[in-house]
Amino acid sequence: MQLWNPADMPKTILIREVGMRDGLQQEKFVVPTNQKIDLINSLNLTGLQAIEVTSFVHPDFVPQLSDAEQVLRGIQRKDSVSYEALVPNEKGLARAQDTDVDEVIFVVSASDEHNLANVKQTRKQSLLALEKIAEKKKDCKVKVTVGTAFGCPFVGEVSYEWVYEIIKTSWELGVHEVFLADTTGMANPRSVYERVSQVRLDFPEISLGLHFHDTRGMGLSNVLAGLQAGVSVYDSSLGGIGGCPFAPGATGNIATEDLVHMVEEMGIHTGVNLPELLKVSKKLQDILGRELPGHILKAGPAFPGSHEKDQRELS
């Protein structure tokens, strides 16, 4: 019998929880600040090592995240967790640094059309803004997310040259961690494997992460392709909530509990306690008052108890 032998896959992965920012930004119901703080404090107990807490965009654009300072100042921080926030410009960076954020994320879309819809700037204008952020950042680290890295709803195929330009500029500005985002769920496993492999070939010293949406039901399949290409850092969203408010048809991110369940069943460790994570997902579902898209929250683990056993062995 041929045994599963994922020779090129990482044995452990790091999961960045983005539900509190990328997930909630799409919700019409504005979650009260104290409930956001409680959710993040609960996520602290799951073993997650990175949480994207909020965004310092102008409140008029995303009212859901207008309480960014209050949330970051109100949470109970753990030394083992990186608390991160999206910043669109210098003003956002200044606000974020006043809260002692650990890392900031700057997003620039590979296609001008999506970048204009998202931040009202061309790609080149956003890269100039990134230059200013890189100059003025203090103690926090800067990450860059390349939006629409696998396809754009406005122009279709996205040239690798556009992606290359963003990563090259980021590296030259001292940014050493980059995420490729499938912002509207247009990627497929082949396109993921080929694009990721090319980026890793061209930028071997860049720390590369992946951010998938499940718009067309291929989110976890694309994770598998990313694993096969050697990527060990992934964004995901509690309950599978989220999307892009500036792109038509962009539904939620891959669900964190679904991602944890899949890779742990494959023997790839996350350090995340799935039963604890499901408790937080259920709490979020109760707050939003609707069924969330994630599968494991509905069906439960395939082998109940196996994840608790894995956690005991890791501890």
Model confidence over 163-204: pLDDT tens digits? 999 999 999 999 999 999 999 999 999 999 999 999 999 999
271 close to 277: Cβ distance less than 8 angstroms: no
What is the spatial distance between Cα 157 and Cα 111, in angstroms, rounded to a whole number? 9
What is the spatial distance between Cα 310 and Cα 302, in angstroms, rounded to a whole number? 14
Identify the residue with better confidence: 7 or 284. Answer: 284
Average pLDDT, the chain: 93
Nearest to 216 by CA among 194, 197, 189: 189
The reported pLDDT for the residue numbered 312 is: 45
The reported pLDDT for the residue numbered 3 is: 57
Catalytic hit among 244, 263, 274, 284: 244
Residue written as token pair 């392709």: 225
The verdict on residue 8 lying in a domain is: no
Residue type, 306: S
Q: What distance lies between CA 135 and its chain's CA centroid?
A: 24
* Tokens coding 40: 């993040």
The reported pLDDT for the residue numbered 251 is: 73
The reported pLDDT for the residue numbered 205 is: 97
9 close to 240: Cβ distance less than 8 angstroms: no
Identify the residue with better confidence: 50 or 243. Answer: 50
The verdict on residue 7 lying in a domain is: no
Query: Quick check: 2 pLDDT over 60?
Result: no
Whole-prediction pTM: 0.94
Q: Quote the percentage of the chain above a pLDDT of 70.
A: 92
DSSP state, residue 149 = T
The verdict on residue 269 lying in a domain is: yes
What is the spatial distance between Cα 92 and Cα 175, in angstroms, rounded to a whole number? 18
For residue range 246-283, what is the model confidence (pLDDT) as tens digits? Answer: 656 667 899 999 999 999 999 999 999 999 999 999 99
Nearest to 23 by CA among 6, 40, 45, 7: 40
Q: State yes or no: is 244 an active-site residue.
A: yes
The reported pLDDT for the residue numbered 61 is: 87
DSSP state, residue 4 = P
Write the DSSP assignment of 52-93 as a string of letters.
Answer: EEEE-S-TTT-GGGTTHHHHHHHS---TT-EEEEE--SHHHH
The verdict on residue 3 lying in a domain is: no
The reported pLDDT for the residue numbered 8 is: 75
- Looking at the structure of the chain, the number of domains it has is 1
The reported pLDDT for the residue numbered 308 is: 59
The verdict on residue 273 lying in a domain is: yes
| Residue 63's CATH number | 3.20.20.70
The verdict on residue 199 lying in a domain is: yes
Nearest to 98 by CA among 136, 42, 129, 58: 136
What is the spatial distance between Cα 207 and Cα 211, in angstroms, rounded to a whole number? 14
Identify the residue with better confidence: 114 or 313. Answer: 114
The verdict on residue 6 lying in a domain is: no
The verdict on residue 315 lying in a domain is: no
* Tokens coding 102: 């650990």
Q: Which range of residues forms the domain containing residue 249?
A: 14-309
Task: Give the containing element (helix H, strand E) for 234.
Answer: strand 233-236
For residue range 114-134, what is the model confidence (pLDDT) as tens digits? Answer: 999 889 999 999 999 999 999
Q: Quote the percentage of the chain above a pLDDT of 90.
A: 86
